[in-house]
Amino acid sequence: MIQRPRGTRDFAPSEMAKRRKVEHAMRQACHRFGFGEIVTPTFEHAELFTMRSGREVVEEMYVFRDKGDREMALRPEITASVMRFYVNELSNLPKPMKLYYVGNCFRYENPQSGRYREFFQLGAELIGNKNPETDSEVIALAVNCIRSAGLEDFVVRVGHIGILKSLVQKEIKDEKVAAEALRMLDKEDFDAMGDMFDAKAIPRGLFDRIVAIADIRGGVEELNNLEESDATQHLREVFAILKIHGIEDCQVDLGIVRGLDYYTGMVFEIDAPRLGAEKQVMGGGSYTLAELFGGEPVFSTGFAIGIDRVMLALEAERPVEAAPALDAYVVPAKDDMRKYAFGLVARLRAQGLKADVDLMRRTMSKNLKYASSTGARFAVIVGREEMAKRSVTLRDMRSGEQKVVLADEVGSEIRKVLG
């Protein structure tokens, strides 16, 4: 028996119904904010991702050569594809450009709860400006997506990559050493950084300042502990606008230092504490990638939500309830009533209802048992007596109550209950 590849999953209809419900809610949030959906290829030229992505992402990429001996890669993330699309075809459109996407990504990493080799994202990119209004708009969208998905227990943390980055680059004159220090910051490997500072005779006071800044977490008033700069003023304005959006419980977190080779300004993350170590369900920030791909310089802000982790977080709070797979299941009582049942199910489907009919020639009792197993809201029973009167028996599969209704009215009767 051939097994599915390690780190991938199969989703049964019941699970997909839950995932589609959550995805739909987040898509609707994107539309409310004026973002339009795009689709980009699942695989790209490998160079697209190696030009700017961090070492860890590059090492985990699925890379292959096509029949033309070109090096290709399954996408490890989607932002680079969006910016390639923007540079190639969209750059002349009016700004700001608001784009969102839903898709699968691939990384060869050690599979565990909330971490897979094939995973799914919903992301958004706002292209065209760098100001507090842009950043707050993107953060507000991310929060609205998470809320729309139904998650209640989450934490929003906002920082600015430029504060620590500018400090390191200003105080460490050797560019290679500064780059290595930034890489260690990105990995939050402060022990290795301290050892390197000692080996390079870099003043320990600088290391202490870096650690102190990275430890700043709390309300926006925590910014008062820093020397005022463009970055701190930017964050103050972002928080002020978020408050107008009704988002008041964000935290300042200057310890968000991942993606130093990717992000250039504001960075933010959303955590679901119930997930424990793998609690991050979203990450994002501001960046400049268009120029790298041959376009004119342009500022962008975006994020990606891990749909898999959102689903885990929702299940940790309470079971996700999806709409029934079927509104109605039509049951012919006898074989000679099947054609009538087929006509009835066709009419229900034409009315926009999710309807199915017995195709296995089961007995009445087995059909009702099957209808219950599918989660059908109603069973529509076609009996000889009812058929003669052009009627059916409509059974509520939740309450067990049933009544005889005209066949032409069964659809409207079902809709009365469904709302």
Are residues 161 and 184 in contact, defined by beta-carbon separation less than 8 angstroms?
A: no
Q: Whole-angstrom Cα distance, residue 152 to residue 175?
A: 44
Euclidean distance between CA atoms 167 and 321, whole angstroms: 49
Domain 13-317 sits in CATH 3.30.365.10: no
Nearest of 232, 174, 244 to residue 202 by alpha carbon = 174
The CATH architecture assigned to 328-418 reads 3-Layer(aba) Sandwich (3.40)
Which of these, 328, 303, 321, lies nearest to 417 by C-alpha position?
328
What ranges do the domains of the chain cover? 13-317, 328-418
H or E element, residue 364: helix 364-374
Please report the pLDDT score of residue 58 as a whole number.
Answer: 83
214-237 residue pLDDT tens: 999 999 999 998 888 999 999 999
pLDDT tens for the 419 residues of the chain, in order: 999 999 999 999 999 999 999 999 999 999 999 999 999 999 999 999 998 766 777 899 999 999 999 999 999 999 999 999 999 999 999 999 999 999 999 999 999 888 999 999 999 999 998 899 999 999 999 999 999 999 999 999 999 998 988 888 889 888 888 888 888 887 788 899 889 999 988 988 998 998 899 999 999 999 998 888 999 999 999 999 999 999 998 999 998 887 777 788 999 999 999 999 889 999 999 998 878 788 888 999 999 999 999 999 999 999 888 888 899 999 999 999 999 999 999 999 999 999 999 999 999 999 999 999 999 999 999 999 888 899 999 999 999 999 999 999 999 999 999 98
Q: pLDDT tens, 174-185?
A: 888 888 888 888
